[in-house]
Amino acid sequence: MKSLHFLILVLSSLGVCQSTYSAQPNIVLLMGDDHGWEETGYNGHPHVKTPVLDEMAATGLRLENFYSGHPTCSPTRASFLTGRHPNRMGTFAPGRSFRPEEITSAHILSKVGYRCAHFGKWHVGAVKAASPVNPGKMGFHEWLSHDNFFELNPSLSRNGGPPKVFRGESSEILIRETIRFIDRTRKTGKPFFTIVWFGSPHEPYSGLPEDLALYDDLPEKYKNKKVKLTSNKTGTRTTRTQGEVLRERYAEITAMDRAIGTLRKHLAAKGLRDNTLLFYCGDNGTSADGSLVTPHRGVKGQVYDGGILVPGLIEWPARIPKPRSTKVRASTSDLLPTLCGILGQPLPERPIDGIDLTPLLDGKMKQRANPLFFWSYKGSNSKEPYIDPELQKGTTPLVKLSGGIPTRNFINFKHSTIADADYLGPRAIIDGDMKLVIHEQKKGDPKQELFDLQTDPAETTNLIGQKSDTAQKLQRQLRNWQQSVLNSLTGTDYRN
């Protein structure tokens, strides 16, 4: 023992230290709703104030090229939970649930001793107790969740029960509940795994007076442009000046940022910060009503980078002791494989689209080996429900009317055969710095665009004519990947 102790001292003196992080770190994964890459102070936004996210960017690992798995919310959330592209499980668009056979990060972590909880927006199925895809059925021990998004004074369902109104600012409410969960779990001696999906800054917008006051100059500054969004009064579409909208949107972002700060302070006060992996990202690019300034092309709903590039930040002082930034491209599909890598757990035995980023955490990954794929598939003509529609009905109220009702119902359909038309829809592949984008047109062949994201992050110069060999290679990779995805969609993964 004395010789071992002496060896450790020698290695330490040479700068080779023992790892100080635990084999089972606490894990908190946070995600904003419609929070695009440019809407942070650290990325140079001219107005929005995000001091906490800015501090995380300055002290942790800043992912400069972090992508949502899809340009809209429900699909990205499915990728976040499963490590798989959402089309594999029929989660094609907002309001499409995933499937009960999917394996989530909570399933995996609960089996190795973690206490798992979900707080906030779920949106991959109904949260009620009867739903086969509620958080509890998908691996979480407890949840306080909403079927969709929410604003001030949200109605939330605890563990599948009837929704209850919680008075106050929604991000503060979620973090307060998260802190209570953390403190309860610590008493059991178990590590905690918490997913917090904020309702902000998704429209319709609302904010506390003190947050709104920070942006009082915007209504006059941006009074000439009109945007469409949901009315808080009627739940239907309305038109307002963009300055008024931005004032409320940025107030929501600042409130969410402050709530994250409350969580960070609590972790530090309880001695948990060093060995807690704290992650933040958005679920897709900025929505059209809130898009003001961006160096990227496109908005939410589009496969250009403006629709899929989001903030990405990791803090874990015990494993990432010094601030770093990386241009390695990563996505929400990488979260489950990375958690498996951290915990030494095998991946589910089915196609996984994400990769293990643990080498990136340790500064050993300089480039992504696997391409990133994006695909806004419109869905098949099948009308055979995968899940009983009664079990897919939402219960938590929201302002926006969806199908004429103030809540969100979900659908997912069986897909037994594959046809040529199933390969259509806006799609893209990023391999290294090269990105191929394909869109169908009303007439003629699909539109194909090839961009070099290193020299042209705004995706303005189409290189398809100059680099045809590169384009053809990417086309083949994309088509082969689509074939794999469609095979999953038919349910073959669940029969293996």
Per-residue pLDDT tens for 140-178?
999 999 999 999 999 999 999 999 999 999 999 999 999
Q: How many Cα atoms are found within 13 Å in the side-chain-facing hemisphere of 421? A: 7
Altogether, the residues listed in the chain come to a count of 496
Gap between the Cα atoms of 193 and 216, Å rounded? 38
Q: Compute the C-alpha angle 205/65/463, nearest 5°.
A: 110
Instruction: Name the residue with tokens 């290695």.
Output: 11
Instruction: Name the residue with tokens 């001695």.
Output: 271
Q: What is the pLDDT of residues 211-257, one digit of tens each?
A: 999 999 999 999 999 999 999 999 999 999 999 999 999 999 999 99
- Which amino acid would we find at residue 362? D
Within a domain: 464? no
Within a domain: 185? yes
Q: Report the pLDDT value the prediction gives residue 110, as an integer from 0 to 100.
A: 98
Gap between the Cα atoms of 272 and 34, Å rounded? 29
- Which amino acid would we find at residue 133? V
Q: What is the dihedral of CA 191, 175, 327, 321, to 10 degrees?
A: -50
Within a domain: 406? no
Give CA separation, 92 vs 54, 124, 442, 485, in Å.
33, 11, 21, 12
Strand positions, DSSP E, 283-329: 309-310, 312-315, 324-326
SS3 string, 28-65, reads EEEEECCCCCCCCCCCCCCCCCCHHHHHHHHHCEEECC
| Strands of 330-331's sheet in order across | 309-310, 66-67, 330-331
289-313: b or e for each residue (b if 16 or more CB lie within 10 Å)?
Answer: bbbbebebbbbbbbbbbbbbbbbbb
**Nearest to residue 65, comparing CAs of 453, 429, 423, 490?**
453
160: left (phi over 0), alpha (psi -120 to 50) or beta: left
Q: Report the pLDDT value the prediction gives residue 15, as an integer from 0 to 100.
A: 34
Give CA separation, 291 vs 15, 206, 240, 285, in Å.
47, 17, 14, 9
Whole-model pTM?
Answer: 0.95
414-434: b or e for each residue (b if 16 or more CB lie within 10 Å)?
Answer: bbeeeeeebbbbbbbbbbebb
Q: What contacts 488, CB < 8 A, 6 or more positions away?
A: 84, 87, 88, 89, 350, 351
The distance from CA 125 to its chain's CA centroid, rounded to whole angstroms, is 16
Within a domain: 457? no
Q: Which helix (H) or strand (E) holds 436?
A: strand 434-439
Rg, Å, the chain Cα set: 22
**Nearest to residue 207, comparing CAs of 215, 197, 196?**
215
Note down the domain range covering 218: 22-371
Within a domain: 455? no
The domain total for the chain is 1
Q: Report the pLDDT value the prediction gives residue 12, as an integer from 0 to 100.
A: 34
* Residue ranges for the chain with pLDDT beneath 70: 1-20, 496
Gap between the Cα atoms of 302 and 375, Å rounded? 10
Gap between the Cα atoms of 329 and 91, Å rounded? 23
Within a domain: 489? no
Q: Which helix (H) or strand (E) holds 343?
A: helix 335-343
Q: What contacts 189, CB < 8 A, 6 or more positions away?
A: none
Q: Report the pLDDT value the prediction gives residue 20, as an integer from 0 to 100.
A: 65
Within a domain: 116? yes
Residue 69, domain CATH: 3.40.720.10
Instruction: Name the residue with tokens 């503060």.
Output: 172
Q: How far apart are the first and last CA of the chain?
A: 49
Please count the helices (runs of H) and the strands (runs of E) in the chain: 13, 19
What are 429's two structure tokens? 């592949």
Residue 275 DSSP label: T
